[in-house]
Amino acid sequence: MLIYFAFVIIGIHYVTDSLLDNFTGKDLDVRYDMASERVQKWFKPIIFCTLCMSSFWGVVLQATANTPFVFVTNLFAIAGIIRLIESLLNYLNGRH
């Protein structure tokens, strides 16, 4: 279950970053730099920092483990797995 949660968290971060970049032209790093200190403090563990997200989303995912919400988390887990495979392939092809 722990690995599943890790893939979901990576997927949430990747999907959010991609959506922001596609619709606003600014990725999460730019948004974080533009945000006020208060927004940075509150949203860093929710969306800005992949490692920090484990504390917030781990609790949310554990609380919703046996609910219909699992279908949505499966989509994010798939996105996380795809992101890791894409990163691995880019590394193996020499495109860091």
Q: What is the pLDDT of residue 90?
A: 85
CA-to-CA separations, 95 to 15, 47, 50, 90, in angstroms, rounded: 21, 26, 22, 5
> Which residue from 89, 60, 90, 88 is spatially nearest to 76, judged by alpha carbons?
60
Domain that holds residue 26: 2-92
Q: What is the pLDDT of residue 71?
A: 80
Alpha-carbon gap, residue 23 to 27, rounded angstroms: 10
What's the pLDDT band for 7 if we cut at 50, 70, 90?
Answer: confident
46-55's contacts with Cβ under 8 Å and 24+ in sequence apart are 47/12, 47/13, 47/16, 50/9, 50/10, 50/13, 53/9, 53/12, 53/13, 54/5, 54/6, 54/9
**What pLDDT digit, counting tens, does each position of 69-92 carry?**
778 888 888 888 888 888 888 888
**What pLDDT digit, counting tens, does each position of 14-72 carry?**
888 888 888 888 888 888 888 888 888 888 888 888 778 877 888 888 887 777 877 88
Q: What is the pLDDT of residue 96?
A: 61
Q: What is the pLDDT of residue 76?
A: 84
Number of domains making up the chain = 1
- The answer on pLDDT for 2 being more than 80 is no
